[in-house]
Chains A and B, each alone.
Chain A
């Protein structure tokens, strides 16, 4: 098959949705054919369209003329001829699409049949992407209109075979841009060429991409774990009467002991000394009872914090190890450039 300037034609079609848009046409016959189609004079539109095709037309206008002929044949229920005309359209402009909401079902089905009767590689798309070399792939999407052997290559400073398989319909491939030794491909411009072959028929489409090298981002060290926070390592115990109770207990023990051990022959002893010490103990107990309790270590929280610290340290050790690896890696960024012409 011969090469066709499909991309430019696609652009023209996109700007002037068929079958309207007669004002953009340069050729007078084609303009008249367009006008007749818009006035629902399909036979006249067909006649003028065929006349225009016999004239010298640019690629976009030729595709438009075939499209007008196809639409007119469809309107006149000549489906086979409509399919033939639409075949010419997609051969000129493989990216051509019809909007099912804007064209008649007959014309749309004729266009669809035409697509399936011509070997095309359409809608070759390569999205911008970025990944660490060896850990990702460049996504390549395209559509093959007939079952065919499809060979996909990346051509740059060196040629790489991306895939060679039999495909039909929507195809999704991934190219891992690595050299045979595992190193990333050199930075630069590469052309992804998709070539479909069915018997003697071949068709190819291409898309240029730029591969950029960069450094891989290192991971920051952690100071905390998300969702986990350090807990206070001291807690204030609830206020109790224990200090006063203990003071009573000890003072009472001393008082009972004193009274119990006093010698009967010596008479009751002076209570002055016991009063001094006992009163001091009871007052201290009362003060300690009324005072806000001193914070005490919260063993559970201390253990939890220790575990959290160890966990963060372990994670940071892993991050440090990961960063050593990342510093040796290459970040590849792939950016699609202008599309190549389909052949």
Chain B
């Protein structure tokens, strides 16, 4: 795709975004991401940024969301790690509204690291709930808590206790254009038994902030 085509596509999206829509059932948009990742001990600290995209859909009491981000993480100044890595994280949720302000949700998370053994790749099923309130016209704040069930790790191990908390904000900026900010804190109490010498704790903790735009259709 040439640069001119990209510019035209962007202008078209902006034009669509400024048009108001009576009911917006789908949104899609790009995101910039900030991330902090820790693993095993306080010595393995990474910090980074990335980009990605978010798509949401709503049908009656059902809603769904999917996000893909590409992260570049580098060791922090306090880190003992020698090199950074990149990761791709895929998140998905399907929710059902049980009240005007509360919904139950299920989903999945999958994060893959590259190079493969520089960090744990993991996948899990989400089970949780979300509460959302309108702050005013076109602004919604939400809080979610997900249990990460049946986690799988590229390095093996298990995690009996894994939680993810999230804070979300959706603000309609103009017409179809939304501003979307999302915070996620993930804590995985991973335990592993390397070499059969007994289980050791190898926790994983990640904080992630997404800042993006969404265009409603």
Contact = CB atoms under 8 A, between A and B. Distances in A.
Contacts of A269: 36, 38, 185, 205, 207
A23 B182 CA distance: 116
A293 B136 contact: yes
Contact of A257 (B47, B133, B135, B165): B165
Query: Among the interface residues B47, B133, B168, B207, which one has the most CB atoms of the partner chain A within 10 A?
Result: B207
Interface residues of A, number: 32
B191 to A, nearest CB: 12
Interface in A257-280: 257-258, 261-263, 265-267, 269-270, 272-274, 276-278, 280
Contacts of A257: 145, 165, 185
Contacts of B168: 277
A246 B187 contact: no
A308 interface: no
B207 A270 contact: yes
A291 interface: yes
Contacts of A293: 136
A276 B42 contact: no
Is chain B's interface secondary structure helix, strand, loop, or mixed overall?
strand
A82 interface: no
Given A254-B167, A280-B181, A291 B136 contact: yes
B203 A274 contact: no
Contact of A274 (B47, B133, B163, B183): B183
Interface stretch (A70-78, A208-216, A281-289, A320-328): A281-289
Given A261-B163, A272-B209, A281-B141, A267 B38 contact: yes
Contact of A250 (B41, B143, B163, B171): B143
A204 interface: no
A284 B36 contact: no
Contacts of B39: 266
B160 to A, nearest CB: 14
Contact of B169 (A267, A273, A277, A291): A277
A136 interface: no
A246 B35 CA distance: 26
Given A246-B133, A270-B36, A277-B182, A254 B187 contact: no
A271 to B, nearest CB: 8
B107 interface: no
B6 to A, nearest CB: 27
A145 interface: no
A332 to B, nearest CB: 59
A134 interface: no
Given A266-B41, A294-B137, A276 B203 contact: no
B16 interface: no
24 contacts: A254-B166, A254-B183, A254-B185, A261-B163, A261-B165, A261-B185, A262-B187, A263-B203, A265-B201, A266-B39, A266-B205, A267-B42, A267-B45, A270-B47, A272-B36, A272-B207, A274-B183, A276-B209, A277-B182, A277-B183, A277-B209, A281-B181, A288-B135, A288-B136
Given A253-B143, A257-B145, A285-B141, 14 more contacts: A247-B141, A250-B167, A254-B166, A254-B183, A261-B163, A262-B187, A263-B189, A263-B203, A276-B183, A277-B169, A278-B183, A280-B181, A288-B137, A294-B136
Interface of A: 243, 246-247, 250-251, 253-254, 257-258, 261-263, 265-267, 269-270, 272-274, 276-278, 280-281, 284-285, 287-288, 291, 293-294
